[in-house]
């Protein structure tokens, strides 16, 4: 049995196995990993690619993550937020284009009180009852997550960023804590959200042992979705001189995640598409099954610059939709009009 096959059968990996898969130059081993991951994804999701319309609702943030282009202390960008009507307009456009999941993502912006955010969620559900709502608005209280869930939010994305305390401390100021972030993830899960966690590949100071700890944490959390993408530096952050993460390593990790978490929703991220012009296609060929095209108004896209050279910031939502569908057809996959919930073993049996 090959190493990839062993992982596929056991859904387990050891640190030496992870090290071997990430460090090998052997093309046969890498291709075997890719093929097993792709086959696993196809067994469960066929050639379907789920779409999520990403609406970047605010670049105002109280946090100062060292890697992030919209961190509070970056004075070199125009801050914006979208209000309810603008968000609903994005959803309307997205619905016409075939999106059945809307992801509302933003910095930790105090404007979005529970009342305001619940109202927005309520209105989206009222106008688009066939759609799922994903929130990605950072760390909030248990009470807040509870109210948002009651208002109709179905899913929540909150990357844990790194599961190692020391590493977390090297990526964030001391006002932020890994234990709180993990607590949020477990709170969200207990409230019945479909939860997404994840991390950047090649974030500064990351070791393979850190990545192994990420996998162990994910095995503990068992999220519905796992979002990973390469770290890419931003010129107005403390990490401006740090090297970018490797897209090749990111692809291998997507494949490993697919073998460990066969049913997970694994996006081929915009960061991967920025690091490599064919990154999103390759992400799917390495076992991914989700794409998150941008639905934000073109007027604000350049202000949600998390890292330098982010792609698709000049395109209209419809252009992104068409472009991605074509890209998927080219590799034998098709984007589908559906909420794109994770499948369960019962559905496959
Ligand atoms: N505020 C929310 C949160 O904390 O989850 C959502 C917005 S935050 C910008 C979304 C994700 O962008 C982060 O979880 C992080 O992994 C990713 N990100 C931020 N800066 C990045 C960078 N320089 N390169 C790659 N990804 C980055
Ligand atoms: Fe808040 Fe990046 S520091 S979204």
Domains of the chain: residue spans and CATH: 48-240+297-340 (3.20.20.70)
CB atoms inside a 10 Å sphere around CB 47 = 15
Residue 202 main-chain phi, psi, to 5 deg? 80, 25
pLDDT-derived band at 224 (thresholds 50, 70, 90) equals very high
54, 66, 69, 70, best to mutate for ligand 2 pocket (most atoms within 8 Å of CB) = 70
The residues that bridge with 49 in the sheet, in sequence order, are: 335
- Tell whether the model's pLDDT for residue 210 goes beyond 80: yes
Q: What is the mean pLDDT of residues 30-35?
A: 98
Q: Determine contact, residues 84/119, Cβ cutoff 8 Å.
A: yes
Distance 157 CA to ligand 2 centre (A): 14
Nearest CA to ligand 1 atom 4: 138
Ligand 2 atom nearest the C-alpha of 64 is 3
pLDDT for position 246: 98
pLDDT, one tens digit per residue, over 232-283 is: 999 999 999 999 999 999 999 999 999 999 999 999 999 999 999 999 999 9
pLDDT, one tens digit per residue, over 115-147 is: 999 999 999 999 999 999 999 999 999 999 999
Q: What is the spatial distance between Cα 270 and Cα 107, in angstroms, rounded to a whole number?
A: 17
Q: What is the mean pLDDT of residues 191-201?
A: 98
Using DSSP's 3-state secondary structure scheme, residue 199 falls into strand
Q: What one-character DSSP code corresponds to residue 343?
A: P
pLDDT for position 315: 85
The residues that bridge with 227 in the sheet, in sequence order, are: 198
- Tell whether the model's pLDDT for residue 228 goes beyond 80: yes
Q: What is the spatial distance between Cα 126 and Cα 182, in angstroms, rounded to a whole number?
A: 32
pLDDT for position 307: 98
Distance 96 CA to ligand 1 centre (A): 28
Q: Is the pTM of this model over 0.95?
A: yes
- Tell whether the model's pLDDT for residue 32 goes beyond 90: yes
Per the listing, tokens 């970018």 go with: 244
Strand order in the sheet with 225-230: 53-58, 101-106, 132-136, 155-157, 194-201, 225-230
pLDDT for position 348: 81
- Tell whether the model's pLDDT for residue 15 goes beyond 90: yes
Distance 306 CA to ligand 1 centre (A): 7
Q: What is the spatial distance between Cα 14 and Cα 10, in angstroms, rounded to a whole number?
A: 11
Q: What is the mean pLDDT of residues 80-92?
A: 98
306, 307, 308, 310, best to mutate for ligand 1 pocket (most atoms within 8 Å of CB) = 306
Nearest CA to ligand 2 atom 3: 71
pLDDT for position 183: 98
pLDDT, one tens digit per residue, over 333-347 is: 999 999 999 999 989
- Tell whether the model's pLDDT for residue 188 goes beyond 90: yes
Distance 66 CA to ligand 2 centre (A): 9
CB atoms inside a 10 Å sphere around CB 299 = 9
pLDDT for position 349: 76
Ligand 2 atom nearest the C-alpha of 106 is 4
Q: What is the mean pLDDT of residues 192-205?
A: 99
Residue 257 main-chain phi, psi, to 5 deg? -60, -40
Phi-psi region of 231 (alpha: psi -120 to 50; beta: other; left: phi over 0): beta
Listed in sequence order, the residues at least 6 apart from 76 whose beta carbon sits closer than 8 Å to its beta carbon are 236
Residue 188 main-chain phi, psi, to 5 deg? -60, -40
CB atoms inside a 10 Å sphere around CB 88 = 18
Cα 61 to Cα 136, 158, 229, distances in angstroms: 13, 15, 21
As a whole number, the mean pLDDT across the chain is: 97
- List residues near ligand 2 (CB under 6 A): 61, 63, 65, 68, 70-71, 107-108
Using DSSP's 3-state secondary structure scheme, residue 147 falls into helix
Per the listing, tokens 């790194």 go with: 162
Q: Please return the burial class of 67, using the count of CB atoms within 10 Å of its CB with bins 0-12, 13-18 and 19+.
A: buried
- Tell whether the model's pLDDT for residue 149 goes beyond 80: yes
pLDDT-derived band at 318 (thresholds 50, 70, 90) equals confident
Nearest CA to ligand 2 atom 4: 107
Per the listing, tokens 């296609």 go with: 281
Distance 326 CA to ligand 2 centre (A): 32
Nearest CA to ligand 1 atom 3: 138
pLDDT-derived band at 5 (thresholds 50, 70, 90) equals very high
Q: What is the mean pLDDT of residues 290-316?
A: 95
């Amino acid at each position: 049995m090959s190493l990839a096959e062993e992982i596929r059968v056991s859904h387990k990996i050891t640190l030496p196995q992870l090290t071997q898969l990430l460090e090998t130059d052997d093309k046969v081993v890498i291709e075997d990993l890719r093929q097993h991951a792709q086959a696993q994804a196809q067994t469960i999701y066929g050639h379907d690619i789920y779409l999520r319309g990403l609406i970047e609702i605010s670049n105002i943030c109280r946090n100062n993550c060292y890697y992030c282009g919209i961190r509070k202390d970056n004075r070199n960008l125009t801050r914006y937020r979208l209000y309810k009507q603008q968000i609903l307009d994005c959803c309307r456009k997205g619905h016409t284009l075939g999106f059945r999941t809307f992801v509302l993502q933003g910095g930790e912006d105090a404007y979005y009180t529970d009342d305001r955010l619940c109202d927005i969620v309520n209105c989206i559900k009222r106008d688009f009852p066939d759609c799922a709502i994903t929130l990605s608005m950072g760390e909030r209280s248990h009470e807040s997550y509870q109210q948002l869930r009651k208002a109709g939010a179905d899913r929540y994305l909150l990357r844990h960023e790194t599961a190692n305390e020391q590493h977390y401390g090297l990526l964030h100021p001391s006002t932020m804590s890994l234990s709180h972030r993990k607590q949020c993830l477990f709170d969200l899960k207990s409230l019945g959200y479909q939860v997404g966690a994840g991390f950047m590949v090649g974030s500064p100071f990351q070791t393979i042992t850190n990545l192994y700890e990420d996998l162990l944490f994910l095995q503990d959390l068992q999220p519905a979705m796992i979002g990973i993408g390469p770290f890419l530096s931003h010129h107005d952050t403390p990490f401006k001189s740090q090297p970018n993460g490797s897209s090749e390593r990111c692809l291998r990790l997507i494949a490993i995640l697919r073998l460990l978490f066969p049913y997970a929703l694994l996006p081929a991220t915009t960061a991967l598409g920025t690091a490599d012009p064919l990154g999103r296609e390759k992400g799917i060929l390495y076992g991914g099954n989700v794409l998150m095209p941008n639905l934000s108004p073109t007027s604000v896209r350049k202000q949600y610059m998390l890292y330098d050279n982010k792609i698709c910031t000049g395109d209209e939502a419809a252009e992104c939709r068409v472009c991605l569908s074509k890209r998927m057809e080219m590799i034998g996959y098709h984007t589908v009009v559906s909420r794109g919930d994770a499948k369960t073993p019962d559905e496959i049996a």
